[in-house]
C-alpha cells in the first residue's frame, strides 16, 4: 500500500480536524449571512448590533483556527499533509478577517446606505462560503470527487463574477462620484468585500491541492 493510499484510508476515521473544520465553516456561514443582512439593513442601531455580531463570530473563528494549529502540533497522523491542514485553516480564517474588515469599515465610515454592488458582492461571497461549507467535509472521502470538483469550479466562477461587479462598480464610482471622501469610503468597502471572495478561491486552491495528492 502506497503512503498516499494509506493516508487516504485513514482520512474518514479522522475525529480531530474535520469536526473543527465543520465548526469553522459553519461559523463562516453565519458571518456571511450576517454581512448580507448588515448591508441591507436601513436601521443604524440594528446595523451596529450586526457589526458586533460579526466581531463576535470572527473571534469564534480565531479560537477555532488556534485550536486547529494546536492540534496540528500534537497530532502525529493528520488526514492530509500538515501544510494542507494549516493552509486550509489559514485560508478559512482569512475569509473571516475580510468579512470583519468590511463590517468595520462600514461602521468606521458611518455608511448609512450601501451601493447595490456591495450587496451583490456580499451575496456572491455568501454563496461561495456555502459552497465551501458543503465541500470541505467531502475531503474525508476522495474516491468519488466529481461533485467536489464541480463545487470548486463553482467557487472560482463566483470569484470571477465578484471581480466583474467590483471592476464595474469602481469604474462607475470614479465616473459619477465627485466627493473624494465618498470615493475613498466606497472603494475601500468594495475592495474588502471583493478580497473576501479572493480568499474563498484560496480555500478552493488548497482543496484542489489535496485532491491531486490523495485521489
pLDDT digits (tens, 9 = 90+) for 176-212: 999 999 999 999 999 999 999 999 999 999 999 999 8
> Which residues touch 119 (CB under 8 Å, ≥6 apart)?
36, 39, 40
Say if residue 145's pLDDT is above 90: no
Coil, strand, or helix at residue 15? coil
Read off the C-alpha cell for 149: 470538483
- Separation of alpha carbons 128 and 101, rounded Å: 18
Question: How many alpha carbons lie under 13 Å from residue 104 in its C-beta half-sphere?
Answer: 10
pLDDT digits (tens, 9 = 90+) for 76-107: 888 888 999 999 999 999 999 999 999 999 99
pLDDT digits (tens, 9 = 90+) for 23-40: 999 999 999 999 999 999
Q: What is the mean pLDDT of residues 125-137?
A: 97
In the chain, the domains with their CATH numbers are 3-214 (1.20.58.220)
Average pLDDT, the chain: 91
DSSP-derived secondary structure for 50-63: HHHHHHHHHHHHHH
Say if residue 2's pLDDT is above 60: no
The pLDDT value recorded for residue 11 is 44
Say if residue 3's pLDDT is above 50: no
pTM of the prediction?
A: 0.91
Return the CA Rg of the chain: 19
Amino acid at each position: 500500500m502506497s503512503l498516499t493510499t494509506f493516508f487516504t484510508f485513514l482520512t474518514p476515521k479522522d475525529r480531530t480536524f474535520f469536526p473543527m473544520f465543520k465548526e469553522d465553516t459553519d461559523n463562516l456561514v453565519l458571518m456571511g449571512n450576517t454581512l448580507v443582512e448588515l448591508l441591507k439593513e436601513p436601521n443604524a442601531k440594528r446595523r451596529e448590533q450586526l457589526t458586533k455580531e460579526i466581531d463576535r463570530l470572527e473571534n469564534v473563528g480565531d479560537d477555532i483556527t488556534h485550536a486547529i494549529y494546536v492540534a496540528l502540533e500534537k497530532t502525529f497522523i493528520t488526514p492530509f499533509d500538515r501544510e494542507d491542514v494549516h493552509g486550509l485553516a489559514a485560508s478559512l480564517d482569512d475569509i473571516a478577517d475580510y468579512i470583519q474588515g468590511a463590517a468595520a469599515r462600514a461602521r468606521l465610515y458611518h455608511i448609512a446606505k450601501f451601493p447595490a454592488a456591495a450587496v451583490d458582492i456580499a451575496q456572491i461571497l455568501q454563496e461561495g462560503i456555502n459552497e465551501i461549507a458543503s465541500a470541505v467535509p467531502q475531503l474525508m472521502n476522495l474516491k468519488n470527487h466529481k461533485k467536489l470538483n464541480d463545487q470548486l469550479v463553482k467557487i472560482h466562477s463566483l470569484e470571477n463574477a465578484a471581480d466583474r461587479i467590483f471592476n464595474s462598480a469602481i469604474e462607475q464610482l470614479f465616473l459619477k462620484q465627485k466627493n473624494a471622501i465618498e470615493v475613498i469610503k466606497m472603494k475601500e468597502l468594495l475592495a474588502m468585500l471583493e478580497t473576501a471572495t479572493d480568499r474563498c478561491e484560496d480555500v478552493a486552491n488548497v482543496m484542489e491541492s489535496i485532491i491531486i495528492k490523495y485521489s
